[in-house]
Protein backbone atom coordinates (compact mmCIF):
# COMPACT_ATOMS: atom_id res chain seq x y z
CA UNK A 1 0.00 0.00 0.00
CA UNK A 2 1.20 3.47 -0.80
CA UNK A 3 1.73 5.52 2.27
CA UNK A 4 0.69 9.16 2.05
CA UNK A 5 2.52 9.88 5.27
CA UNK A 6 5.97 9.18 3.86
CA UNK A 7 8.58 11.60 5.04
CA UNK A 8 9.77 14.07 2.43
CA UNK A 9 13.03 13.38 0.61
CA UNK A 10 16.17 14.78 2.14
CA UNK A 11 17.80 17.71 0.40
CA UNK A 12 21.13 19.42 0.84
CA UNK A 13 20.51 22.94 1.97
CA UNK A 14 21.98 25.73 -0.17
CA UNK A 15 22.23 27.97 2.87
CA UNK A 16 23.66 25.85 5.68
CA UNK A 17 24.94 22.98 3.51
CA UNK A 18 23.37 20.41 5.82
CA UNK A 19 21.14 17.58 4.74
CA UNK A 20 17.60 17.65 5.95
CA UNK A 21 13.94 17.76 5.09
CA UNK A 22 12.74 20.69 2.99
CA UNK A 23 10.19 23.14 4.39
CA UNK A 24 6.54 22.16 4.20
CA UNK A 25 5.05 23.38 0.97
CA UNK A 26 2.15 25.19 2.60
CA UNK A 27 4.56 27.16 4.79
CA UNK A 28 6.02 28.88 1.72
CA UNK A 29 3.70 31.69 0.67
CA UNK A 30 5.80 32.76 -2.32
CA UNK A 31 4.71 30.62 -5.25
CA UNK A 32 7.63 31.69 -7.40
CA UNK A 33 10.16 30.59 -4.81
CA UNK A 34 8.50 27.33 -3.86
CA UNK A 35 10.08 24.96 -6.38
CA UNK A 36 13.55 26.28 -5.66
CA UNK A 37 13.09 26.22 -1.91
CA UNK A 38 11.55 22.78 -1.81
CA UNK A 39 14.57 21.27 -3.47
CA UNK A 40 17.34 23.33 -1.96
CA UNK A 41 16.44 24.70 1.45
CA UNK A 42 16.10 22.91 4.76
CA UNK A 43 13.19 23.42 7.11
CA UNK A 44 15.47 24.90 9.78
CA UNK A 45 16.67 27.70 7.51
CA UNK A 46 13.11 28.37 6.42
CA UNK A 47 11.98 28.79 10.00
CA UNK A 48 14.84 31.24 10.54
CA UNK A 49 13.39 33.25 7.68
CA UNK A 50 9.91 32.98 9.17
CA UNK A 51 11.13 34.59 12.37
CA UNK A 52 12.80 37.35 10.38
CA UNK A 53 9.66 37.76 8.31
CA UNK A 54 7.55 38.34 11.40
CA UNK A 55 9.99 41.03 12.51
CA UNK A 56 9.90 42.73 9.10
CA UNK A 57 6.11 42.58 8.93
CA UNK A 58 5.84 44.19 12.37
CA UNK A 59 8.53 46.74 11.75
CA UNK A 60 7.16 47.96 8.42
CA UNK A 61 3.53 47.11 9.13
CA UNK A 62 3.29 45.01 6.02
CA UNK A 63 0.08 43.36 4.95
CA UNK A 64 0.43 40.16 3.03
CA UNK A 65 -2.78 40.92 1.14
CA UNK A 66 -1.26 44.05 -0.39
CA UNK A 67 0.61 43.06 -3.57
CA UNK A 68 3.42 45.61 -3.08
CA UNK A 69 3.97 44.48 0.47
CA UNK A 70 4.00 40.89 -0.62
CA UNK A 71 6.57 41.68 -3.31
CA UNK A 72 8.72 43.48 -0.75
CA UNK A 73 8.60 40.45 1.51
CA UNK A 74 9.51 38.17 -1.35
CA UNK A 75 12.52 40.36 -2.12
CA UNK A 76 13.54 40.31 1.54
CA UNK A 77 13.16 36.55 1.53
CA UNK A 78 15.42 36.20 -1.52
CA UNK A 79 18.01 38.39 0.09
CA UNK A 80 17.84 36.61 3.41
CA UNK A 81 18.25 33.22 1.80
CA UNK A 82 20.72 34.49 -0.82
CA UNK A 83 18.62 33.13 -3.66
CA UNK A 84 19.75 33.79 -7.21
CA UNK A 85 17.91 36.43 -9.20
CA UNK A 86 16.55 35.86 -12.68
CA UNK A 87 13.73 33.57 -11.72
CA UNK A 88 11.15 36.27 -11.34
CA UNK A 89 7.52 35.57 -10.62
CA UNK A 90 5.13 35.94 -13.47
CA UNK A 91 2.91 38.97 -12.94
CA UNK A 92 -0.47 37.70 -11.90
ZN1 LIG B 1 19.61 24.97 5.93
Taking the CB of residue 15, how many other CB atoms lie within 10 A of it?
Answer: 17
Say which residues have a Cβ less than 8 Å from residue 69's Cβ, sequence separation at least 6. Answer: 60, 62, 63
Given a contact cutoff of 8 angstroms between Cβ atoms, the answer to whether 39 and 22 are in contact is: yes
- Domains of the chain: which residue ranges? 11-81
pLDDT of residue 7: 63
Mean pLDDT of 11-34: 95
pLDDT of residue 88: 53
Taking the CB of residue 13, how many other CB atoms lie within 10 A of it?
Answer: 20
Q: How far apart are CA 71 and CA 89, in angstroms?
A: 10
Q: 87 C-alpha to center of ligand 1: Å?
A: 20
pTM: predicted TM-score of the whole model, two decimal places:
0.81
Q: 1 C-alpha to center of ligand 1: Å?
A: 32
Q: 20 C-alpha to center of ligand 1: Å?
A: 8
- Asked if pLDDT for residue 92 goes beyond 50, the answer is no
CATH 3.40.309.10 is held by the domain 11-81: no
Given a contact cutoff of 8 angstroms between Cβ atoms, the answer to whether 36 and 83 are in contact is: yes
Q: For 38-70, how does the pLDDT look when each residue is reduced to its tens digit (9 = 90+)?
A: 999 999 999 999 999 999 999 999 999 999 999
Amino acid sequence: MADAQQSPPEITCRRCAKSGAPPLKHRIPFKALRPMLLESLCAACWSEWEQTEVRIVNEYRLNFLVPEHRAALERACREFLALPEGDEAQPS
